[in-house]
Amino acid sequence: MGAMGAAEPLRSVLWVKQQRCAVSLDPARALLRWWRSPGPGAGDPGADACSVPVSEIITVEETDVNGKQYSSGKWQKMERPYAFTVHRVRRARRHRWRWAQVTFWCADEQVHQLWLQTLRELLEKLTSRPKHLLVFVNPGGKGHGRRVYERKVAPLFALASITAEIIVTERANHAKESLYELNIDKYDGIVCVGGDGMFSEVLHGLVGRTQRDAGVDQNHPRAALVPSPLRIGIIPAGSTDCVCYSTVGTNDAETSALHIILGDSLSMDVSSVHHGGTLLRYFVSLLGYGFYGDLIKDSEKKRWMGLVRYDFSGLKTFLSHHCYEGTVSFLPAQHAVGSPRDRKPCRAGCFVCRQSRQQLEEEQKRSLYGLESTEEVEEWKVICGQFLAINATNMSCACPRSPRGLSPAAHLGDGSSDLILIRKCSRFNFLRFLVRHTNQGDQFDFTFVEVYRVKKFQFVSKTAGDEDSSVEGRGKKRFGQLCSDHPPCSCAASSSSWNCDGEVLNSSAVEVRVHCQLVRLFARGIEEPPRREWHS
């Protein structure tokens, strides 16, 4: 058995279950390891060594072993065994995390106390972990959200000594209104239990409250929004859980609870949608016009059908095959590293997000000091035509039905959105495009599909351009000049609606801007599969 100084590794021979093990703790690397050591001394770790970073230890508890019976004669020699249990995260398949525990035993009280004290001191240094949370629970159908929280989340929060104030929502926008009224300074973060709609409520409440407190006018399309110091945690309990799936890699409640407990931070872009001088909504995943706009608008009329309404409305919208004419104007994201077709998905510790953020900050500094006006240097591009769909994605929009999402290489925090234009084509070709979302094929490899990485974009439908020139003057002039160069077409001039993260926006003329890393989540991001997983 060993001891340690202030920064020296700690190594002892302890018992795990009924096996004699060497256990080491390296404070410099913050790593706990143990391996079988049947002979005298600790020995060196072999291929069967188990390992867990201190950052993935939930808590350490002193374990009472009195009254337990042990069949092994070795245990009978311990007159009074001392034990402590390490509660930790264990990785399972498909990005799932699981709560696991391992108990270490010894006969020496001093060694036992040394291990407890050392591990607890290391855990206390992890100051990013939340202690007090505000939790909004959408009860959902038949109390599903409440059951998910009470059965899967609350016990883990209690284990991690996290206190929570629970608000069960009773109506639409209950969470948003509460965030405007409550004293949120006393919390370490906000947690929402529900689907993407519940997350959107919390997002709008937190972003709106932050801008109000900072004196920022959200209705101004060019306002520099202020990030909130509070992080948002998502406990999935909805139908698709797209945001959770795209940021963690699974829609598993236990996994999300463990991400919150460990206190990781994941910065994420938020896009604002304006019509004229008014903020319509924010979105983090999808803003869709045409196909997805028609789908969500039709499904809202059929809420009595339950979740099957999305399938029904999807089929109906596909068969309708409506095409819409309009003009898209966008500012390319020249600061962004990578492209929508580079097949490099956003993962934990993403290099693309980090580099894009740095380049965007440098660009903003140059603009601030008047060295150059970025919007004058970067030219807007304009595309007129007939479209089956116009989609803007801030993330991959992955979900269980579409594991790779609408834009597999979209990044969470690179200050850009992937703008996907699906031009008029046959039903068969459009079906081919939709099917690509469910397999490994390149869904942008069609002549009628274009994709761009953008910082801002504007859209005006033909009817909106004729009847309501509400986009800013510079945009109107640009649209008028370029569209007049195109011959008039004979397509129907009807307008669609926008699907803004599952909510319907009826204003077809919009101005969209990406706000780089405006919010932070309690998440690490989607991890690459490890070469080897350690199991106790």
Just list the catalytic residues.
Answer: 196
Which residues neighbour 521 within 8 Å (Cβ) at sequence distance 6 or greater?
A: 231, 232, 233, 234, 247, 265, 266, 268
Q: Which of 422, 367, 362, 372 is nearest to 393 (CA)?
A: 422
Which residues neighbour 337 within 8 Å (Cβ) at sequence distance 6 or greater?
A: 351, 352, 355, 356, 359, 414
Q: How far apart are CA 480 and CA 475, in angstroms?
A: 9
Q: DSSP 3-state assignment of 132?
A: strand
The total number of residues shown for the chain amounts to 536
Which residues neighbour 431 within 8 Å (Cβ) at sequence distance 6 or greater?
A: 318
Edge-to-edge, what's the strand order for the sheet holding 97-106?
50-53, 31-36, 19-26, 10-16, 97-106, 82-91, 57-63
* Amino acid at site 75: W
Q: Using only C-alpha atoms, what is the Rg of the chain?
A: 27
* Look-up of token digits 């309501």: 468
Instruction: Check if the beta carbon of residue 253 is closer than 8 Å to that of residue 148.
Output: yes
Structure tokens at 345: 């998905």
* Look-up of token digits 């974009």: 457
| Cα-based distances in Å from 279 to 219, 282, 514 | 5, 8, 13
- Relative to beta strand 189-194, strand 132-137 is parallel
DSSP string, 424-438: S--HHHHHHHHHGGG
Neighbouring CB atoms inside 10 A of 345's CB total 19
φ, ψ of residue 158 in degrees (nearest 5): -65, -40
Q: DSSP 3-state assignment of 382?
A: strand
Structure tokens at 400: 């269980």
φ, ψ of residue 18 in degrees (nearest 5): -120, 25
| DSSP, res 402 | B
